[in-house]
Structure 1
Amino acid sequence: MTPAQQLRKVLQPAGCRVMPCCFDALSARLVEHAGFPLTFMSGFAVSAARAALPDTGLLSVSEMLDQGRSICDAVSIPVIGDGDTGHGNPANVRRTVTQYARAGFAGIMLEDQLAPKRCGHTGVKEVVSRTEALRRIRAAVDARDAGADLVIVARTDARSALEAVHGPRRALDEAIWRLQAFADLGAEVLFLEAPRSEAEMARICREVPGLRMANMLEEGITPVLPPTRLAEIGFRIAAYPLTLLSCAVHAMQAALQQLQLGQTPAARVDFATLRGIVGFDAYDALLDQYRHEDAPSNCDQSDVDQDASQ
């Protein structure tokens, strides 16, 4: 089963999947070890963890792919990758989708912001025209249909970008129109970033076909609802984009404060657990398979002993 097929299987049953978002191979492995069936490589979190930079389009597609390959290699669960705006025109979008598929991703999220993009909860300024937004998703679907099998997650930021000019109602109308059009083009997962209320979230699920994704960012613009309520409304995925990163930063800051006081932090995993997570036990077990390898039948034992002594 390909990663994309695996992801489609995970998303097939009814209910809302809780999807913690990762930012490196270790955080992705922790998601898998905790029993979650999928994860998402957050662009915000990767930008912060890899370069200590804001999520404003500063990382290149090569940097995102490099991070993604490490993440996909570290886990067996499907990983959706943040593809931002597709990194250019429709030709760039097609190449980005192809590269993400080769890197091992199961899906890719593409959005309609004007490049350089920014985190949807920090004040989106502009989105591209309807025509350009549709071109991006059409190019992604064409790449998928040509063999780069990925689940296409189509995102719109029109709700935030157009509110100041058109008001909240018309901005939401436009965002929903775009998602409907993305679904018609063949996008499988639809994502309206930063709705302002539970009522808006319910309207999205009533009017947008396909599988809907909600973004549960703590202290963000969208209400953080429990997964059971999200399922009742009609969402299939609940993404938690910064939960792991925020908790990791909090834990590291607390540990550093204790070290400044000359104390060893007590709130940590023990060394044996850490060795197991990163794979020392599996590494040693692999080497044990070759420790008593028999010499080839045509090899003289004296030659083996002589080689060993050298």
Structure 2
Amino acid sequence: MENKKTTRLKNLLIPGKPLICPGAYDVLSAKIIEKIGFQALQVSGFGVAGSILGLPDIAVLSLTQMLDVTRNICHAVNIPVMADGDTGFGNAVNVYYTVQMFEDAGAAGINLEDQVFPKRCGHMDGKMVIETEEMIGKIRAAADARRDPDFIINARTDAGTLYGIDEAIRRGQAYLKAGADMIFIEAPKISKPEDIKRAVKEIGGKCSLGIVLGGKAPILTYEQYCDLGLARLSFPVAPIAAAAHGMEVALTHLFEEKSFADEDRDLYWDFKQYTDFIGLPDVHQLERRYMSDEALEERYKP
């Protein structure tokens, strides 16, 4: 198998067999996504905003904050990671440097969207989009900036929410022509999956869709998404929403019962499960390799 993560991601994007990309918000969530068996993931600006700031996805996160989280995730997992570049953190010139910074951080691709800054989660109300020509300039800058030609530029359009699927198609076609590798049809304002299928066909390239429970995109089976011709399915909110729910359930139990019992193990990992997962056995192995017997005995004496 090709070792470059960019090439691996590129080869995983197959129209009609959409790649499922959950949205990691920190290293732990990324490692769990990888452990379960997903072949790729994306960094979720929605999740990062919630996890480090306790705020909704309303463009409060800085480029540096997103880079730091993305770099840590890329170094911690072996599967390809797509970065969340939001609007590129500025104009086309900012996009140029943003792409290079995320590529240097280890990302295999980036999402770039055509919202007006300050942007917001695609499934929220109150969005605005920039003019098509301005976004074309951003995509051209992104394509010129990447050093690895397999680095994926996923151009997201939110125009479908505001103006309908025909405008999303028009913009998708223009963004592909400008150098994008895939078109992210975000939260389309449509009621029929057939409209998405038409959009994918008429855009004429690889397409992605973001799925949020309670959001604006249609909730279908995987087989139905395959029939639409999509190449990627993004689930940006599912991991952090699941984590929040799980913590609420477990901590409500602790609050009410004032303790945990053996029969409550379905609520949480025990200490060994968690420390094994985050690599404590590897630390012990390194200690045995590099520390003297005397030092180990002193450290682990009864």
TM over 0.5: yes
Counterparts of 1:213-252 in structure 2, within 5 Å, are 213-252=208-247
2:167 aligned partner: 174
Return the offset for 1:272: 1.5
- Measure, in 2, the Cα distance between the counterparts of 1:263 and 1:161: 50
SS of the counterpart of 2:287? helix
Are 2:86 and 2:119, in contact at CA under 8 Å, matched by a contact in 1?
A: yes
TM-score between both structures, scaled by the size of structure 2: 0.89
Distance 2:15 2:199 in 1: 20
Taking the TM superposition and a 5 Å limit, the aligned residue runs for 1:187-202 are: 187-195=180-188, 196-197=190-191, 198-202=193-197
Judged with a 3 Å threshold, the aligned counterparts in structure 2 of structure 1 residues 235 and 134 are, in CA distance, closer, same or farther, namely same
Residue in 2 that maps onto 1:152: 153
Distance 1:271 1:70 in 2: 24
User: 1:156, 1:192 within 8 Å by CA — same for their partners in 2?
Assistant: yes
Question: What displacement does 1:186 show?
Answer: 2.0
Which amino acid counterpart does residue 283 of structure 1 have in structure 2? V
Alignment-derived partner of residue 111 in structure 1? 113
Report the alpha carbon displacement of residue 242 of structure 1 after superposing the two structures with TM: 0.9
SS at match of 1:191: strand
The answer for the alignment partner of 1:290 in structure 2 is 290
> How far apart are 1:200 and its partner, in Å?
2.0
Matched residue type, 1:225? L
Do the aligned residues in 2 keep the contact of 1:151 with 1:189 (CA within 8 Å)? yes
Deviation at 1:210, TM superposition (A): 2.0
The answer to whether residue 271 in structure 2 is matched with residue 275 in structure 1 is no
Structure number with greater CO (CA < 8 Å, separation at least 6) is 2
Q: Which of 40, 50, 53 is 1:38 aligned to?
A: 40
Q: 1:96 maps to what in 2?
A: 98
Give the corresponding residue for 1:168: none
Shift of 1:23: 0.5
Partner amino acid for 2:180? Answer: A
Give the whole-Å Cα distance in 2 for the aligned partners of 1:70 and 1:77.
Answer: 13
Q: Give the C-alpha shift of residue 268 in structure 1.
A: 0.8
In the other structure, the counterpart of 1:5 is: 7
RMSD value, Cα: 1.8
**Aligned equivalent of 1:138, options 126, 137, 140:** 140
CA distance in 1 between counterparts of 2:20 and 2:221 reads: 10
The secondary structure found in structure 1 opposite 2:21 is strand
Displacement, 1:177?
0.7
CA offset digits 1:182-219 (Å, max 9, x no partner): 11122111111112331221112221222111111101
The runs of 5 or more residues in structure 2 that have no matched partner are 294-302
Conservation of the 8 A alpha-carbon contact between 2:14 and 2:206? no
1:63 deviates by 0.4
Alpha-carbon contact 1:47-1:59 (below 8 Å) kept:
yes
Q: CA deviation at 1:113?
A: 0.3
Number of aligned residues: 284
1:13 shift after superposition? 8.1
Q: After superposition, what is the alpha-carbon deviation per residue over 1:112-134, rounded to whole angstroms, capped at 9, x for unaligned?
A: 00000001111143100111011
Deviates more, 1:91-100 or 1:201-210: 201-210
> Residue 26 of structure 2 aligns with which residue?
24
Report how far residue 9 of structure 1 moved: 2.5
Q: List alignment gaps of at least 5 residues for structure 1.
A: 163-170, 294-310
The letter for the 1-side match of 2:206 is: L
Cα displacement (A) at 1:80:
0.3
State TM-score, norm by structure 1.
0.87
- State the structure with more CA Rg: 1
Instruction: Quote how far apart the aligned CAs of 1:6 are.
Output: 2.1
How far off its partner does 1:18 sit? 1.7
